[in-house]
Amino acid sequence: MKIHDIGGEFALIGRLASQSSTTHPDLVTGIGDDAAVIGGSFPDGDYLLVTTDMLVEACHFRRDWATPAQVGIKSVACNVSDIAAMGGTPTFMFVSLVLTADTEVAWVETLYQGMAEACRRYGVVLAGGDTTLGEVTAVSITLLGRVSPENLRLRSHARPGELLCVTGPLGGSAAGLAMLAAGLDPPDYLREKHLSPGCRLDVSPAIAPVARAMIDISDGLAAEVNHICDQSGTGAEIIAADIPIHPAVRKAARLTGNDPIAFALSGGEDFELLFSITPENKRLLEEKGISVTAVGRVTEGTSNRVLTLPDGKRRTLSGGYNHFS
Domain's final residue, options 150, 169, 193: 150
Q: Determine the pLDDT at residue 6.
A: 63
DSSP per-residue letters across 207-258: HTTT-SSEEE-SS-HHHHHHHHHHHHT-EEEEEGGGS---HHHHHHHHHHT-
Asked if residue 47 is part of any domain, the answer here is yes
Q: Determine the pLDDT at residue 30.
A: 86
Q: What is the CATH number of the domain that holds 144?
A: 3.30.1330.10
**Same structural domain, 199 and 275:** yes
**Same structural domain, 131 and 279:** no
**Same structural domain, 140 and 158:** no
| 263, 175 contact by CB (below 8 A) | yes
**Same structural domain, 262 and 118:** no
Q: Determine the pLDDT at residue 40.
A: 84
Asked if residue 1 is part of any domain, the answer here is no
**Same structural domain, 198 and 74:** no
Domain's final residue, options 133, 150, 167: 150
Q: How far apart are CA 66 and CA 96, in angstroms?
A: 20
Q: Determine the pLDDT at residue 15.
A: 76
Alpha carbon separation from 29 to 82, 101, 181, 252 (Å, rounded): 14, 39, 39, 39
> Residues 10-52: pLDDT tens digits?
666 667 666 666 678 889 988 888 999 999 888 999 999 999 9
Asked if residue 12 is part of any domain, the answer here is no
Asked if residue 14 is part of any domain, the answer here is no
**Same structural domain, 236 and 209:** yes
Q: Determine the pLDDT at residue 69.
A: 98
Residues of the chain with pLDDT under 50: none
Q: Determine the pLDDT at residue 285.
A: 96
DSSP strand E in 211-264: where? 214-216, 235-239
Asked if residue 322 is part of any domain, the answer here is no
Q: Determine the pLDDT at residue 197.
A: 97
**Same structural domain, 100 and 190:** no
Indicate the pairing of strand 89-99 with strand 138-147: antiparallel
Backbone angles phi, psi at 181, to 5 degrees: -65, -30
> Residues 55-64: pLDDT tens digits?
999 999 999 9
Asked if residue 324 is part of any domain, the answer here is no
89 DSSP β-pair partners = 146
**Same structural domain, 194 and 116:** no
**Same structural domain, 233 and 261:** yes
Return the closest-CA partner of residue 226 out of 188, 234, 218.
234
Its domain, for residue 78, covers 20-150
**Same structural domain, 172 and 127:** no
Asked if residue 275 is part of any domain, the answer here is yes
Q: What is the CATH number of the domain that holds 176?
A: 3.90.650.10
Asked if residue 258 is part of any domain, the answer here is yes
DSSP strand E in 4-157: where? 27-29, 36-38, 47-56, 89-99, 125-133, 138-147
Residues in the chain, overall count: 325
**Same structural domain, 188 and 142:** no
User: What's the domain count of the chain?
Assistant: 2
Domain's final residue, options 150, 172, 206: 150
Q: How far apart are CA 77 and CA 97, in angstroms?
A: 17
**Same structural domain, 134 and 179:** no
pTM (2 decimals)? 0.93
Indicate the pairing of strand 273-277 with strand 47-56: unpaired
